[in-house]
């Protein structure tokens, strides 16, 4: 009976919270919940695990609480035991699911700092609107000794499939790292660590060494809407790119909220330095 009641509460949460910052997408009836009546699943690397995690967070929202989750940018494994400091709010420690929860707070932007041994200390702006956050899953980079850059892309439920691209021209050899060429960098210095096709991300690219004689381009393609270059889904996705370098967060890029298109031109690297672009184009 307790399992049935829990299941009913979670399903009610999905129904009531839909449209209030939680987009659960098309879960094929209840199919997206997998074996939900048997208990909460432990991970979020499957569609059913994602659905259960989102429904848990929706229940927290109905209770007037904010739930945040933290994952590894390499494999989306939960980060347990991480220290989460939110300025003016308090200090928290993630549970075995990489999750924290606290009562709703006043609207505004809060500096949140994530710390855990083996991961890069990452400051994040936590945005609270109407007492809640729409984007509550965060992907943190493990340490990257002797690596020049790591690029981490995360976004919301829609579009389901955004693809991170990293293109090198000139210098010691050209390459184009993306989902269809994950590890074939001519100079052996870049790889796509993770490809995601079901929303939220992360997609992560690690670059071992930057060639100062080459030019690099980083962009995101909306694969889900690839044939609709007038789409506004990607600009509305809340996509974020964090660029790490020398074991520190170097730069955070937020996708422009206005505009239409399926290509987010994020940045370039020229003569070893980062150059902002941050525009949306049709393709």
Q: Degrees (nearest 5) of the Cα angle 95, 97, 101?
A: 55
Same domain membership, residue 108 and residue 164: no
Task: State the average pLDDT for the chain.
Answer: 84
Task: Quote the pTM value.
Answer: 0.82
> Domain range spanning residue 153?
145-281
pLDDT of residue 6: 43
pLDDT confidence of 4, banded at 50, 70, 90? very low
List phi, psi (to 5°) of 28.
Answer: 60, 55
Q: What is the CATH number of the domain that holds 230?
A: 2.60.60.30
The 10s digit of each residue's pLDDT in 11-67 is 444 444 433 333 333 322 222 222 222 223 334 566 677 888 989 999 999 999 999
Q: pLDDT above 90 covers what percent of the chain?
A: 64
Domain-terminating residue out of 139, 164, 190: 139
Please say if the pLDDT value at position 137 is more than 80. Answer: yes
pLDDT of residue 195: 87
pLDDT confidence of 196, banded at 50, 70, 90? confident
Domain-terminating residue out of 139, 158, 175: 139
Beta bridge partners of 217: 167, 268
Give the number of domains in the chain: 2
The 10s digit of each residue's pLDDT in 259-281 is 899 999 999 999 999 999 999 99
Beta bridge partners of 181: 178
Please, what sign has the CA dihedral across residues 220, 80, 141, 67?
positive
Q: Please, which contacts does 116-120 make with residues 24 or more away whose CB atoms are closer than 8 Å?
A: 116/79, 116/81, 116/82, 116/83, 116/140, 118/142, 118/143, 119/72, 119/79, 119/82, 119/143, 120/144, 120/244, 120/247, 120/248, 120/249
Q: Are 143 and 167 spatial neighbours (Cβ–Cβ below 8 Å)? A: no
pLDDT of residue 49: 78
Which among 74, 73, 63, 103 is positioned nearest to 86, based on CA atoms?
Answer: 103
- The one-character DSSP state at 188 is S
Please say if the pLDDT value at position 182 is more than 80. Answer: no
pLDDT of residue 44: 56
pLDDT confidence of 258, banded at 50, 70, 90? confident
Of the ranges 24-28, 73-77, 181-185, 192-196, which is most confident?
A: 73-77
Same domain membership, residue 91 and residue 163: no
Same domain membership, residue 75 and residue 115: yes
The label of the residue with tokens 């789409």 reads: 231
Q: What is the CATH number of the domain that holds 116?
A: 2.60.40.1120
pLDDT confidence of 172, banded at 50, 70, 90? confident
Domain-terminating residue out of 139, 161, 177: 139
pLDDT confidence of 123, banded at 50, 70, 90? very high
- The one-character DSSP state at 143 is P
Same domain membership, residue 154 and residue 76: no
């Amino acid at each position: 009976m307790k399992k049935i009641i829990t299941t009913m509460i979670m399903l009610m949460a999905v129904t009531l919270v839909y449209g209030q910052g939680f987009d659960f997408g098309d879960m094929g009836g209840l199919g997206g919940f997998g074996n939900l009546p048997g208990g909460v699943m432990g991970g979020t690397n499957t569609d059913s695990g994602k659905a259960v995690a989102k429904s848990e967070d929706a229940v927290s929202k109905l209770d007037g609480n904010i739930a945040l989750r933290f994952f590894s940018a390499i494999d989306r494994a939960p980060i347990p035991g991480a220290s989460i400091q939110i300025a003016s709010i308090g200090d928290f420690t993630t549970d075995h699911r990489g999750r924290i929860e606290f009562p709703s707070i006043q609207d505004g932007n809060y500096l949140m700092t994530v710390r855990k041994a083996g991961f890069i200390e990452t400051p994040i702006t936590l945005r609270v609107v109407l007492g809640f956050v729409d984007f509550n899953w965060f992907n943190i980079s493990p340490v990257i000794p002797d690596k020049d850059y790591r690029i981490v892309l995360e976004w919301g439920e829609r579009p389901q499939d955004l693809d991170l691209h990293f293109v090198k021209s000139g210098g010691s050899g050209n390459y184009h790292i993306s989902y269809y060429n994950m590890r074939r960098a001519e100079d052996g210095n870049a790889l796509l660590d993770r490809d995601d096709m079901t929303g939220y991300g992360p997609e992560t690219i690690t670059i071992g060494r930057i060639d100062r004689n080459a030019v690099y381009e980083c962009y995101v393609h909306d694969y889900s809407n690839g044939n609709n270059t007038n789409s506004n889904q990607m600009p509305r996705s809340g996509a974020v790119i964090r660029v790490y370098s020398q074991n520190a967060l170097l730069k955070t890029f937020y996708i422009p909220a206005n505009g239409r298109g399926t290509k987010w031109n994020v940045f370039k690297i020229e003569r070893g330095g980062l150059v902002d672009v941050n525009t949306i184009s049709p393709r």
